[in-house]
Structure 1
Amino acid sequence: MQKETLMPTYMKNFSCIGSACEDSCCVGWRVTLDKKTFKNYKNLKHPVLGKKLNDSMKRIKNGTSSDSQYAYFVMDDHKRCPMLEESGLCGIQATIGEEMLSATCTTYPRVINKVDTNYEMSAKLSCPEISRLALLNPEGIEFEHTEYDMNSAWGMNNDFLDSSKSENGENLFWPLRMFTIGIIQNRSLELSDRMIFLGIFINKVQSLIDSKEYNKIATVIAEYKSKINNKEYIASLMNIKSSPELQLRLVVELIQKRNVSGGEVPRYLESYIDMCKGFNIQEKETFDLEKLKITYKENYSNYYKRFNEDYGYILENYLVNYIFESLFPNIKKSDIFNHFTRMSVLYSMLRIHLVGVAGYHNGLSEEIAIKVIQSFARVVEHNMFYLNSITDSLQQSGMDTLAHIVSLLKE
């Protein structure tokens, strides 16, 4: 069905490359099934596939069960979907057609949102092909409205109903979002300074949300549009000191709380090991923070800084894609600063990975950077438990304030 759709232009060039993909979305993840698909598979009359499907599916019977999360495939001993053939192709699709795939398999890596009556489509960077298309554009991510053939089987991620008519300020979603993306794409500033500026702005908007002064948000947007062009104000951001100690604490958190499922994703595990080797550390409970601080600075100055100068648009595109697909800043949820904190932690963790890997490889190429970012997105962004454990640690230590986040972000 043709739908008016807003999407990044990279989506026009996307198609799954199947068995040619260097990663597989059918390995290392639990593949969930919606209720309709589960019943279709249960009733399938096929001499071979029918039995295999019945032997491989398991119902979700706890409180998390829903029509969209009704059952799942039990992975084999190698954490592979039992429907995945040796060729790297899906046995269901190959045998009975794509229309029989579950909503999860049909939709991924697409992210479908609906704002009022308009559809939006972007994609997860955990897909290698999407990472290349979205991140390797030196001109930055652009968007366009177009008539798009939206597959009715694709699952909806978020749905804003009548947001423009709300009395609680949701009608400000568009100007907030457009200004947010404009900040991140403003290349007159270093990317870390853009994030700091955004954090100061979001913190101000959060204070208005807390006091329910929604009518003042438009004025604040205008104020910060002026500030981003004020040389003295921008100079004050550039004079902010970084906090290597706080950044290194995040390194320690990364090592000590490494996502267990990361070991099931070989591509991420390779990048993770390279990062550890680049920092000359092993997984253990104690660290020599002074040595780690010296190594971090050396890696940054000798290798990462050059990469950032040549390919800074890659992380810019990462942030813009995240902002768009996660509907940030969504003031309907009233906690946009917490959302910004999470985005800042993701960005900082990713930068730490890249600094460590750069030290191990004596530099970063586009290919290595894409591998790190894609595998990081797959393991970290898709595991809220792990990400929450990092942000919770900051909160428990009182380090989730604007001042601490600014110190964490500063290059």
Structure 2
Amino acid sequence: MQRETLMPTYMKNFSCIGSACEDSCCVGWRVTLDKKTFKNYKNLKHPVLSKQLHNSMKRIKNETSSDSQYAYFVMDDKKRCPMLHESGLCGIQATVGEQMLSSTCTTYPRVINRVDNIYEMSAKLSCPEVARMVLLNPDGIEFEHTESDMNSAWGLRDDFLNSSKHENGENLFWDLRVFAIEIIQNRTLYLSDRLIFLGIFINKVQLLIDNGEYDKIKSVIEEYKIKLNNDEFVTSLSKIHSNPELQLRLVVELIQKRNDSGGEVPRYIECYVDMYKGFGIQKEDTFNLKELKITYQKNYNSYYVDFMEQYGFVLENYLVNYIFESLFPNVKNKDVFKQFTRMSVLYSMLRIHLVGIAGYHEGLSEEMMVKVIQSFARVVEHNMSYLNSITDLLQQNGLDTLAHVVSLLKE
């Protein structure tokens, strides 16, 4: 079905590489089934597949159950979907066709949002093929407004129907998001300074939202557009002091917390172990913060910073893709600074991973960058309970202020 669509141009060239994928989406994750697909599988008449489906499906019978999250496949002892053939191909698709796949399997790695009558299609970087296409584009992410063939089986993640509504600032969504992307893609600034600039701006917007002064937000956007081109203001960002102790203590705690909650993805575990080795940490629960700071600085100066001078666009592309697919800043939720804080922590965690891994390998490469970011996205970004716990933890420790978030970001 043809739909008016806004999408990054990389989506025009994306197609699943199937069994050639180095990190199958059918391994390590629980594959959920919507109610319609579950019933189709229950009623399927096939001499082999029917029995296999009946023995592999399990209903979700708690408060999380819904028509879209109705059942799931019980993974085998290797954490593989029981429908996955050794060849790496899906047994359901191979036997009865793609039209019998669940919405989850049909949609991933696509992210489909709808803003008013316009569909927005992007993709998650947890897919290796998507990660390569997005991250390794030195020209940055561009967008295209077009007519696109939208599969009716693709699931809709978010529906933003009132972007023209003035009462609670929804009409400002487009202006805010376009400016956020403009900031992150402004290569006259270091990437961490772009994020800090965005944080200062979003904090100002949050104050206006808290006071119900939505009518002033457009003028603030114009004010900060001028500041973005003001040499004196931009120079002031470079004078902000970093707080490496806070960065290391907080980010390592967050990484440990995520690993404890179960990141059973071999590709990510390899990165996680390399990071710890790169920091000279022998045991996760015992490390000397002073020694860690010294090692971090050495890795950063010797192996990380020069590589990122050439490949800074990789993390820029990560952030722009995140902004677009997450509908940041979503003014409907009235917590735009909290959304920014979450994105900042994800960026800071990624940077810690990369600096540690750069130290272990005595350098970085394009392949390493893709592996780290893709596996990180798979383990962290798909776990909503963990993502929510990030901002909760910061709030509980009084670290969710602009000053603390800026010190977390500053290199």
Superposition map of 1:12-411 within 5 A: 12-260=12-260, 262-411=262-411
Q: Which amino acid aligns with 1:153?
A: A
Q: Deviations over 1:110-163 (max 9, x none)?
A: 000000000000000000000000111000000001111000000000001132
Q: Give distance in 2, aligned partners of 1:161 and 1:397.
A: 36
One-letter code of the match for 1:25?
Answer: C
Query: 1:144 aligns to what SS in structure 2?
Result: strand
Structure 1 residue 306: Cα displacement: 1.1
Letter in 1 for 2:117: T
For 1:95 and 1:183, the matched residues in 2 are separated by 48
SS at match of 1:186: coil
- Secondary structure of residue in 1 paired with 2:121: strand
| Contact 1:259–1:380, Cα closer than 8 Å, also in 2 | no
- Give the drift of 1:167: 1.9
More divergent stretch after superposition (382-391 vs 341-350): 382-391
- State the distance in 2 between where 1:251 and 1:151 align: 40
Using the TM superposition, give the Cα deviation of residue 79 of structure 1 relative to its aligned residue in structure 2, in angstroms: 0.8
Describe the SS at the equivalent of 2:314: helix
Question: Any idea what SS the aligned residue of 2:144 has?
Answer: strand
Amino acid at match of 1:68: S
C-alpha contact 1:243 1:407 (8 A) present in aligned 2? yes
Residues 242 and 278 of structure 1: CA distance in aligned 2, closer, same or farther (over 3 Å): same
Letter in 2 for 1:195: L
In the alignment, which residue of structure 2 is the partner of 1:10?
10
Secondary structure of the equivalent of 2:164? helix
Task: Tell me if the contact between 2:27 and 2:81 (Cα under 8 Å) persists in the aligned partners.
Answer: yes
What secondary structure is seen at the aligned counterpart in 2 of 1:259? Answer: helix
Take 1:261 and 1:399, find their aligned partners in 2: how far apart are those partners?
Answer: 22
How far apart in 1 are the matches of 2:64 and 2:262? 23
Equivalenced residue count is 411
Deviation at 1:257, TM superposition (A): 1.4
Q: Distance in 2 between matches of 1:166 and 1:153?
A: 33
Cα distance in 2 between the residues matched to 1:391 and 1:267: 26
Q: Give the Cα–Cα distance (whole angstroms) in 1 for the partners of residues 204 and 189 of structure 2.
A: 20
Q: 1:32 to 1:274 in 2, by over 3 A?
A: same
Is the alpha carbon distance of 1:129 and 1:171 closer, same or farther for their aligned partners in structure 2, counting shifts above 3 Å?
A: same
TM-score (norm 2): 0.98
Q: CA deviation at 1:307?
A: 1.5
Q: Deviation at 1:393?
A: 2.3
Checking the alignment, whether the CA contact within 8 Å between 1:176 and 1:221 is kept in structure 2 is yes
155-164 vs 212-221, greater mean Cα deviation: 155-164
Alpha-carbon RMSD across the aligned residues, in angstroms, is: 1.1
Distance in 2 (CA, whole Å) between partners of 1:255 and 1:128 is: 21
Paired residue secondary structure (1:308) = helix
SS of 1:304's equivalent?
Answer: helix
Could you tell me how far 1:396 is from its partner in structure 2?
1.4
Q: Secondary structure at the match of 2:111?
A: strand
1:263 deviation in Å?
4.5
Structure 1: distance between partners of 2:262 and 2:273? 11
Using the TM superposition, give the Cα deviation of residue 246 of structure 1 relative to its aligned residue in structure 2, in angstroms. Answer: 0.8
Q: Partner letter of residue 240 of structure 1? A: I
Report the Cα distance in structure 2 between the residues aligned to 1:325 and 1:235, rounded to whole angstroms.
31
Normalising by the residue count of structure 1, what TM-score does the alignment of the two structures yield?
0.98
Aligned mates of 2:207, 2:140 — CA distance in 1: 31
Query: How has the CA–CA distance of structure 1 residues 385 and 162 changed in structure 2, closer, same or farther, with 3 Å as cutoff?
Result: closer
Amino acid at match of 2:34: D
Q: Which amino acid aligns with 2:309?
A: E
**Equivalent residue letter for 2:71:** A
Q: By how many angstroms is 1:394 displaced?
A: 1.8
The SS at the match of 1:339 is: helix
Give the distance between the partners of 2:262 and 2:274, measured in 1 at CA.
14
State the SS of the aligned residue for 2:72: strand
How far the C-alpha of 1:213 sits from its partner, in A, is: 0.4
* Partners of 1:323 and 1:107 in 2: CA distance: 20
